[in-house]
Amino acid sequence: MGAATPSLAALLGQATLEDHDAVLKASNAALKKSKSDANALHAKVVALLKLDRFDDALQMFEEAGDELKDRAHLEHAYTLYKAGKPGRAVTVAEAGKEIGERGRGLKHVEAQARYRSEAFPEAADVYDHLLSDRAEAFGEQNDLRINASAVDAQLAWANAGHLARRTKPGREDMDAFETAYNAACGCIARGAFGQGEVLLRRARVLCEALDDLTDAEKAAELLPILIQQIYVMARQGRLDEADELSVQLEVAAIPDASTKHIARVNSLASAKTISNPYLFHRLFHSSPSYPPNDQPFSFQQNLLSQNAATLDMLVFKFSGIAASRQKAPALSVIRAVAYAKGQIDPKAALRAIVPVLEKHPEDIGLACTAAHLALQTNNYSGAVRVLERMDERLNFMPYASQVDVQDLRYSPGLVALMTTLYNVENRSVAAKKVLLNAARHWRQRQHDTSSQIEPSALTAPDSLFHAAGIALLDAGGQEDLAEAAKLFGALRDVGPEDQAARAGFVAAQTAAHIEMPDADWLDGLTPVPSLVQSVDVDILEEAGVPRVGGGFGTEQGGPGRKRAGPSNETRRKKRKLRQSRMPKNFEPEKKVDPERWLPMKERSYYKPKGKKGKGRAGGDRTQGGFAAEDGAKRAASGGGVPASAGGGGGGSAGKSKKAKKGKGKK
């Protein structure tokens, strides 16, 4: 090894610091003499990194063993970061800092690796530490400030904007196009599209005015600014302007794979109509796969997944979406549409979703979709059952104790939906229970300091607490009133100007007879004379107390009286009969026979057919008539004597029948 080192030094002395190929050749020549030469291995790794051959450098570290890794923590961490392994890069950087090796360089690599692995709070802490040492940060302050502003923007995208060091753009952000761009991204993440658009214009002007960049470098720096401008215009509904701006964007010239795909998606999204969904689907999926060191961030990947699922549905690829298990509620709704296979009829769509919901009742997005479909068919009880089953499944699952599951379970929108449905069904006790449980959960979350979620996301709107307090006041129990007093008191401590909290606290304290509220609670309330100054007591006494109806099925005219039927004005108009439903030879002008439903013999105008001189109607021709009446008729006409009770009468009757039969045969 001693003979190899001077030869390597001699070879490196013939090369310059910028001639990395020559350094690489000298290192290879030294390694041919001794494969274990640590100096040659180290020099070769540095040359490979300078030549952007990160995969080769990573392979060298893996083949060389622990000796090279322990010697070059900085190079090893940087190689892992550039090779798309930021998690391992953080581990190596932390190990190098513990032994005190090149601490500041390792901190730079650690900050970049934490940023790429989406550990943004930790990355912000590292940049704060780097900026705190002004002597060491001399010459690096501009780069550090740009990187720190990028971390702040990513925190806003990750719903952790409260951890950002700066949440509002300052005057210093207008000095460089990088800081203006990062400040614009932060505004866009918070939904301030107007302010973000102004900052993007400023960043574009500053970038175009730079003299130390070539035209190719300017074009590369302007690409992300242009892509963000198209996104902002599309979100604002200015599709015409976004379409015009997308013409200036050369998607094929973008070097980064993820940026190229996002630019293509934004251009497709800015289109007014989708005339050919199959063409859109092919263009969306025409981008190549991302390399390991150029993966989209999580919030970008979620939006891209939603767009991909939407296009799959437009080209009727329902089975692929239904088979995929998605976690986000928005994608669960897309799954529901896929299971329903584009059914427009809510009943048919609900029938397709119910079997899937029985397998995954904890899927909030799927349950809300099923409840919405049930409401469209006026099935309120079915909607309530779906939501109640989802709530029970979330409560008894193994991970039910996790905080994020409880946050979803008591999300304000879901609580509002359940309480509204309970109130529609007159289930006030169940509605009060849901409101009270939600209020208790969010009050506990407000005191949770271990979470990295934004405090505004750890609480529900004041309207939820107000509704819970009012429900407790309506219950009227001693425990309910005490709980309402605590709830309104906590609201008043957070917002002293909350008049509803003041009034609720005073009402709860007074009704519960706990103690009289302090004077400062009463001073903020509206005086009673001002509330009743427009009320005329004499008119109220003359009008009397209005009577309320006797309940469901009765009207105000009196208790127990049935509800009146609809008047002539409110009756439905008679539906016109279609031509195909009319009978044959139907004449609209002719009056329809009202007895047409009776048998013919029972109609009033029926005349039986018979011979002349015979009786046509009456009891004499009815089977079962009285024998006395029949005999009297025959006596009156000279046709015989009345029949006796003996058997002779039967014989004469038999003869008469035989004669009639004989006549009939002629």
Helix runs in 495-536, H state only: 499-512, 519-523, 528-532
Strand locations in 351-480 (E): none
Question: In the beta sheet, which residues pair with residue 390?
Answer: none
**Residues in CB range of 41: below 8 A, 6 or more apart:** 27, 31, 60, 64, 68
Q: How far apart are CA 373 and CA 350, in angstroms?
A: 6
Distance from the first to the final alpha carbon of the chain: 148
* Predicted pLDDT at 499: 74
Helix runs in 133-256, H state only: 141-157, 177-189, 193-208, 215-235, 239-247
**Distances from the Cα of 505 to the Cαs of 304, 438, 444, in angstroms?**
48, 19, 20
- Provide the token pair at 25: 């050749």
CA angle 379, 380, 384 (to 5 degrees): 120
Amino acid, single-letter form, for residue 55: D
Q: Which two tokens stand for residue 171?
A: 């005057």
Q: What are 562's strand-pairing partners?
A: 554
203, 205, 211, 213 alpha-carbon torsion, rounded to 10°: 50
The rounded distance, in Å, linking the Cα atoms of 43 and 583 is 103
CA angle 360, 363, 368 (to 5 degrees): 120
- Is 487 buried (19+), middle (13-18) or exposed (0-12) by CB count in 10 A? buried
**What are 117-120's contacts with CB under 8 Å, separation 24+?**
117/86, 117/87, 117/90, 118/154, 118/158, 118/297, 118/298, 119/90, 120/151, 120/154, 120/155, 120/158, 120/160, 120/163
Residue 640 makes CB contacts below 8 A (sequence gap 6+) with 634, 652
Domains of the chain by start residue, with CATH:
335-526 (1.25.40)
Q: Which helix (H) or strand (E) holds 144?
A: helix 141-157
Q: Which residues of the chain have pLDDT under 70?
A: 1-18, 98-102, 272-273, 318-344, 397-404, 446-460, 493-497, 512, 514-524, 547-577, 611-666
With a pLDDT cut of 90, the percent of the chain lying above it is 9
The whole-number pLDDT of residue 232 equals 92
Identify residue 353 by its one-letter amino acid code. Answer: I
Please return the burial class of 267, using the count of CB atoms within 10 Å of its CB with bins 0-12, 13-18 and 19+: buried
Structure-block tokens of residue 92: 């190596």
Amino acid 436 reads L
SS3 of residue 2 by DSSP? coil
Cα distance between residue 429 and residue 439, in whole Å: 15
For the record, the structure tokens of 439 come out as 């209020």
SS3 state at 554: strand
d(CA 591, CA 606): 18
CA–chain centroid gap for 107, Å, is 40
The structure tokens 């794979």 sit at 257
Give pLDDT, residue 7.
57
How far is 488 from 507, CA to CA, in rounded Å? Answer: 10
E-strand ranges in 33-182 read none
Tens digits of residue pLDDT in 548-579: 554 444 444 444 445 555 555 555 566 666 77
- For residues 143 and 145, what is the distance between their CA atoms, to the nearest angstrom? 5
Q: How far apart are CA 202 and CA 172, in angstroms?
A: 12
pLDDT in the model for residue 328: 45
Q: Which two tokens stand for residue 14?
A: 């013939």
Which residues is 584 bridged to in the sheet?
A: none
Return the pLDDT at 649: 41
DSSP state of 562: B
Closest to 142 measured CA to CA, from 170, 110, 178: 178
- C-alpha to C-alpha distances, 633 to 154, 322, 640, 648, nearest whole angstrom: 116, 90, 10, 19
